[in-house]
A and B are shown apart, each in its own frame.
Chain A
Amino acid sequence: MAEEVKNEEMEELLEEEDSQKGKFMTFQTGKEFFGISISYVNEIIAMQPIAAIPEVDDYIKGLINLRGKIIPVIDVRVRFKMEPSEYTDRTCIIVIDVNSTMIGLIVEKIAEVDTIADDSIVPPPSLGRKEHEHNKYVYGLARTGDAVKLLLDPEKLIRQDEIEAVMEDIRKED
């Protein structure tokens, strides 16, 4: 019996994964559209009061309280070294879950959920400027309709080296 249940669960999971495949949450920041694979996205919430934390990088805006869970939020614009914009009614927080780390992304405007086929994703053109800031987080470009969307790699976005630094700290403390 137990195994049957398990199988069903597995199937459901697989199905879910399947239905999420190729779907991207797209949002607008500045003039560009960005996309983030929907499998990372937990939920989208309206802008909330943020408790600032002292002595951290400027793009980490602070902490928000999401139904009792305290999660850090980062401003995508500042992260991309763009001029910060005023927060408006349309400003949203996309809560993503990357390897069990929950993080909120402040974005100017949510666009829509787009289905992007694998073959319409091309790697970002490299002009030999490998250190170019954007290319670190953008792993592909996708053309949908008349717009080009920059697909983000959330794992890079929250920067692996930072996580590693934190992990190291934790290890040291142990």
Chain B
Amino acid sequence: MAEEFNTESMLDMFLYESGQLLEKLEGIILEKQDADCFDDSDINEIFRVMHTIKGSSGVLMYENITKVTHKLEDVFYYLRESHPDDVPHMELVEKVLAVSDFVTGELDKLKNGDTPDGDEHQLVQDLDEFLGRLKGEIKKQGIQMPQANKHEEPKQFYITPVAGDDSHFYRISIHYRSDTQMSNIRAYSATYALKEVAEDLLYTPDDILSNEASGDVILAEGFHMLLQTKSSKEEVIALIDSSEAEEINFDELTKGEYGKALAEFGREDAITIDLGEEQKPEEKDKKKDKPQPGDYVVKTKEAGKGKTLAKNQPKQQSIISVNVEKMDALMDLIGELVIAEAVVLQNPDLKVPGLELSNFQKASGQLSKITTELQEVIMSMRMMPLTNVFQKMKRIVFDVSRKLDKDIELEVIGENTEVDKNIIEHITDPLMHLVRNSVDHGIEENAEDRTTLGKPAKGKITLEAKNEGGKVYISVKDDGKGLNKEKLYQKAMDKGLIDNKLISEFTDKEIFRFITLPGFSTKEEVTEYSGRGVGMDVVVKNIQSIGGRLDIESVEFEGSEMTLIIPLTLAIINGIVVQVGNSPFVIETASIKEFVRVGEDSLIHEPSGEEYIVLRGECYPFIRLNERYDLADSISNVEEGIVVVLEHEGSQVCVLIDKLLQEQEIVVKPIPPYVKKVKGLSGCTQLGDGSIALILDIAGLLIQDGERR
């Protein structure tokens, strides 16, 4: 049974591979959604994906997955063999996506450690019916029906390896007890176990996995295998699972006998081969690779087949998947290395006057070069293209636009833009929201509304990513109705979300930003996709949590553009280290507007204790970090300290610090969750000497400041 060959790693492998295959599948489908039909290579590809998933889910005995994929495989087998003309393409696309969703759902259950118990019957029925209709149409047109897909398990043909001198030959026959369940699967597990040691393996019945009836044949006639191996008899016997087996016959053969036995087995195969070649032209190449005339043609390693095919795809880079934790550990270590390097190179022992250090300098220069390079490499390893995220968006546009009956085309630009893996995880949901909003709210309900405005009837959404100046810009742009400022203003007023001010007192951007206020939803009715009023504020919050922001542009009747501006990487920021009292703090360089020294006279004291600073006629709130955080031994006279003007999303605040220490690239680390979250601090970092500095979070400072007032 499946459990016997280390299911855990097989399961991992299965989940990983199937996940990859499904992604690929969705990619193909969505690319061709607007085409009239799939071309041959697509059909082959989808067929192969289904086939592989079916095979491996069969081995792991996830029956519902096997059944569903098998059905879809049937459909594509039919398409591939008979090239019917009138395929309802849209319906086919939907069917494939339905299957892909089903399997994805089941895989998710598996990932969570649940049993995949989704009900496949409806889906299988639908597919059956669909296939029936396809075939029906063909019949009507009088085209010859191709043979039904009886050999669902496409075979892979290998030439018998030349036997070495130390090879042994065995004929193994297993007779299972008559009440054995799923004897075909048991037989398969036996072949699977033997494959490890087999130089060559042939068995009959040969369609054990794909043909459930083969189980009966095995029960009646036994399961026969021919094995060529270097292993001894004992080793082979140990590999075969003998539970449920009534009798195992084990004959050692000579090379000559083996050849004869092969011929008996192989005769049948010789026929299948011809069939096979006609049916599966893509496997011809494989066969040609090993032309050894005269040898018997035998098939082995069925389970490995899907893998080989998938990995032989052209243009695929050779990639290994690594656990993210290991990557993070490596990253940490390299951070440590950099710090250790600083400790060595700036060691006070070197400062002894009169030391001859020229060789040391040379060596240390080399060391620094390597560590810098190492840092760059690890950073680049964490970078991933946005392709997958964008693919999900394609799917969303496809689904939602069809549900809402809107005709929308999606243009994707710059999907190869690379960003840090952490960021990808954080932007997927917000981006999904924006895309949904564009489809749902952005694009007009009726095509007439568009044509009267002189726009093409088909709505257009552009998803664009670009990398500029250390930031990534991801924008979702639609050519829909755009935002109506009066409406937004009215709505925000009605809901009491804004202060009582005239509309003219707000800038356009400020008005657009109303939609990001919690509890604001312009759509009168709540739809399935958006309009619950919890969307945009969550989007903004998520984006802010990774140090990004949302920019909204809109022209009424022409469309809107929502741009996410996010840092390229979360892990390393450019910061300025400052000191307050005895504690070092880090401020992100990008949020610093200026450093000033001010006199006591530019301070305004409010009776409530609040302070403001007047700089060039502008009045800014003033925070004394030492008082805010109760830091001892710090400068409290403004004239002695330094005032830093910080900016975040258009609002400014002045902060008093003692002195500036240095500017450096810092590795951001989270404050351990055990310590409750302190407002105004976003994380911590290690400085060159190994000590810890806290990172100021400007947004948090501003919020806290607002709350106090």
Contact = CB atoms under 8 A, between A and B. Distances in A.
Nearest to B545: A173
A3 interface: yes
A60 B676 CA distance: 10
Interface residues of B, number: 32
Interface stretch (B73-81, B86-94, B330-338): B330-338
Given A55-B678, A162-B676, A170-B673, A64 B692 contact: yes
A122 interface: no
Nearest to B583: A52
A68 B686 contact: yes
Contacts of A103: 674
Nearest to A159: B674
B9 A69 contact: no
Instruction: Give the one of B6, B630, B672, B693 with max A CB within 10 A.
Output: B672
Given A65-B690, A68-B332, A53 B678 contact: yes
Instruction: Give the one of B584, B678, B681, B691 with max A CB within 10 A.
Output: B691
A70 B669 contact: yes
Contacts of A129: none
Contacts, number: 79
A162 B684 contact: no
B671 interface: yes
A91 to B, nearest CB: 18
Given A51-B694, A65-B691, A69-B332, A3 B674 contact: no
Given A51-B684, A52-B583, A2 B6 contact: yes
Instruction: Give the one of B9, B673, B692 with max A CB within 10 A.
Output: B692
B336 A67 contact: yes
B628 interface: yes
B628 A63 contact: no
A67 B669 CA distance: 13
A147 interface: no
Contact of A68 (B335, B583, B693): B335
A163 interface: yes
Nearest to A64: B692
Contacts of B669: 70
A103 B676 CA distance: 14
A164 to B, nearest CB: 11
Interface in A14-35: none
A102 B684 CA distance: 16
B684 A163 contact: no
Contact of A166 (B335, B336, B629, B676): B676
A3 B583 CA distance: 52
Contact of B630 (A54, A64, A65, A173): A54
Nearest to A1: B6
Interface string A154-167: 00001000110111
Given A63-B684, A64-B692, A70 B671 contact: yes
8 contacts: A53-B675, A63-B675, A63-B692, A65-B686, A65-B690, A68-B336, A101-B672, A166-B674
Interface of B: 6, 9, 332-333, 335-336, 545, 583-584, 628-631, 669-679, 681, 684, 686, 690-694
Given A53-B671, A53-B675, A72-B675, 10 more contacts: A51-B584, A56-B675, A64-B692, A68-B333, A70-B686, A70-B692, A101-B673, A165-B676, A166-B676, A169-B677
A-B pairs, top 3 by smallest CB distance, nearest first, are A54-B629, A51-B692, A68-B336
